[in-house]
Amino acid sequence: MSPGGTGCSVGLLLTVGWLLLAGLPSARGTNVTAAVPDAGLAHEGPGEGEEEMENNDSETAENDAAPETEEDVSNRNVVKEVEFGMCTVTCGIGIREVLLTNGCPGGESKCIVRVEECRGPIDCGWGKPISESLGSVKLACIHTSPVNRFRYMWKLLRPDQQSIVLENDSAILEVRRENHPLAFECDTLDNNEIVATIKFTVYTSNELQMRRSSRPDTDAILVFVLTIGVVICVFVIFILIFIIVNWEAVKSFWGAKILTPEVQSEQSSVRYKDSTSLDQSPTEMPGEDDALSEWNE
Cα 8 from Cα 263, distance rounded (Å) = 164
As beta bridge partners, residue 151 has: 189
Q: Is the pLDDT of residue 57 over 60?
A: no
Helix (H, G, I), strand (E, B) or coil at 204: coil
Nearest CA among 212, 208, 139 for reference residue 178: 208
Residues contacting 4, CB < 8 A, separation 6+: none
Per-residue pLDDT averaged across 67-94, rounded? 70
Q: Is the pLDDT of residue 212 over 70?
A: yes
Per-residue pLDDT averaged across 144-167, rounded? 92
State how far Cα 106 lies from the chain centre: 16
Q: What is the DSSP letter of 246?
A: T
pLDDT at residue 247, rounded to an integer: 85
pTM over 0.85: no
Whether the ω angle into residue 129 lies within 30 degrees of 0, i.e. cis, is no
pLDDT at residue 182, rounded to an integer: 93
| Model pLDDT for residues 85-122, shown as the tens digit of each residue | 899 999 999 999 999 888 788 878 888 889 999 999 99
In what order do the strands lie in the sheet containing 82-84? 82-84, 93-100, 111-119
Question: Pairing between strand 123-126 and 131-132?
Answer: unpaired
Q: Which domains does the chain have, with CATH numbers?
A: 82-120 (no CATH), 123-214 (2.60.40.10)
| Model pLDDT for residues 1-28, shown as the tens digit of each residue | 444 455 556 667 777 666 766 565 544 4
As beta bridge partners, residue 250 has: none
